[in-house]
């Protein structure tokens, strides 16, 4: 899922997303609550109509954004009181408020309110966080209206195996529509993250989607799929595009490289995206070095297409029962 924090995937239009074979996007509850406000979006017909996106939308609960405001928030059993990063005004979001905001936004998949713990964090702090997240999850289920929205619970527990197990089992008992692995990609190493994913996945049902939040690079997606993960979101394809880093079937390419100044080849000769079908590396480098806004759009279109194409290849490999071979071929090419 490309990240459309403010109801927009940066630098591209909904039509660009569709052309890049994007199937679903993520929008951010916290940011849309603060600006322009969920009531306004509701009055204007919901987020789909507001941003002219006809595909599915997932909204996160706002828990991660509150976590990032460590110096501007106060957590209690009731919920979180925090200051807006925009104007310093005071706000409160608890489980019930998170459900109301996401109902108003009209997303297809909504997330239970949770507490994302920092890394590293001591055991007692994480234990209390798991208990609070479970309590909030129950309140989210109780308060959720019959809106047709799928509600996912978020497994927390830091890097502690027993706390991840505790959190996962508690949420499974509540019978959510899907389960997310939260609190990862917050500074831990890749090996630690892989261990947590593998261990936690064992306690989640096979007949419900599993969503790894905030991850990651192409290799992270391949490895997590091997561990049984179904869904992902990450700013990497769009953010890297705006910084001049492009993903190709042969690895990463830095379009700022002086060697591309007169290179007439596309970014990736095997790519079928709009950018690769129409523009050379030389032109894309020129745009980027000149800080032309078109550079961000064309780069983003390519990276989104690469990620969509990677996931489509994974789906085909799973259907053909050849994921091991796909993984091997991926690393032989990508490096």
High-pLDDT (> 70) share of the chain, %:
99
Active site residues: 60, 233
Going by their DSSP bridges, the two strands 231-232 and 210-212 should be labelled as: parallel
CA distance 110 to 61: 7
At the top level of CATH, the class of 3-234 is: alpha beta
Enter the pTM of the model. 0.96
CA distance 106 to 38: 10
pLDDT of amino acid 58? 98
Q: Is the pLDDT of residue 69 over 90?
A: no
Q: Where are the domains of the chain?
A: 3-234, 239-334
How many other CB atoms sit within 10 Å of the CB of residue 324?
10
Burial of residue 236, with CB atoms counted within 10 A of its CB: 0-12 exposed, 13-18 middle, 19 or more buried? buried
DSSP of 266-323: -S-TT--SHHHHH--HHHHHHHHHTT-HHHHHHHHHHHHHHHHHHHHHHHHHHHTT-H
pLDDT in tens, 255-313: 999 999 999 999 999 999 999 999 999 999 999 999 999 999 999 999 999 999 999 99
């Amino acid at each position: 899922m490309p990240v459309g924090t403010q109801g927009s995937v940066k630098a591209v239009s909904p039509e660009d997303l569709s052309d890049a074979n994007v199937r679903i996007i993520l929008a951010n509850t916290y940011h849309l609550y603060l600006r322009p406000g969920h009531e306004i979006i509701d009055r204007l017909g919901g987020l789909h109509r507001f941003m002219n996106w006809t595909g599915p939308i997932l909204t996160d609960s706002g828990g991660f954004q509150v976590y990032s405001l460590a110096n501007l928030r106060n957590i209690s059993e009731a919920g979180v009181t925090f200051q807006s990063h925009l104007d310093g005004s005071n706000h409160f979001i608890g489980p019930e408020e998170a459900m109301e905001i996401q109902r108003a936004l009209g997303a297809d998949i909504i997330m239970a309110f949770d507490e994302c713990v920092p890394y590293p964090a001591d055991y007692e702090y994480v234990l209390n966080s798991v208990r609070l997240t479970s309590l909030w999850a129950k309140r989210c289920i109780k308060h959720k209206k019959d809106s047709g929205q799928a509600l996912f619970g978020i497994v927390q527990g830091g890097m502690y195996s027993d706390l991840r197990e505790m959190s996962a089992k508690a949420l499974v008992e509540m019978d959510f529509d899907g389960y997310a692995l939260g609190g990862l990609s917050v500074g831990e190493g890749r090996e630690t993250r892989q261990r947590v994913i593998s261990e936690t996945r064992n306690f989640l049902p096979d007949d419900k989607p599993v969503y790894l939040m905030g991850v990651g690079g192409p290799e992270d997606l391949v490895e997590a799929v091997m561990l049984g993960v179904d869904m992902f979101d990450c700013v990497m394809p769009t953010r890297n595009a705006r910084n001049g880093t492009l993903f190709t079937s042969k690895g990463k390419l830095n379009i700022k490289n002086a060697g591309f100044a007169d290179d007439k080849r596309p970014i990736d000769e095997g790519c079928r995206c709009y950018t690769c079908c129409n523009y050379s590396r030389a032109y894309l480098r020129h745009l980027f070095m000149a800080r032309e806004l078109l550079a961000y759009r064309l780069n983003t279109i390519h990276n989104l297409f690469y990620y969509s194409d990677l996931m489509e290849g994974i789906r085909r490999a799973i259907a053909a029962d050849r994921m091991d071979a796909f993984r091997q071929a991926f690393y032989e090419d990508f490096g």
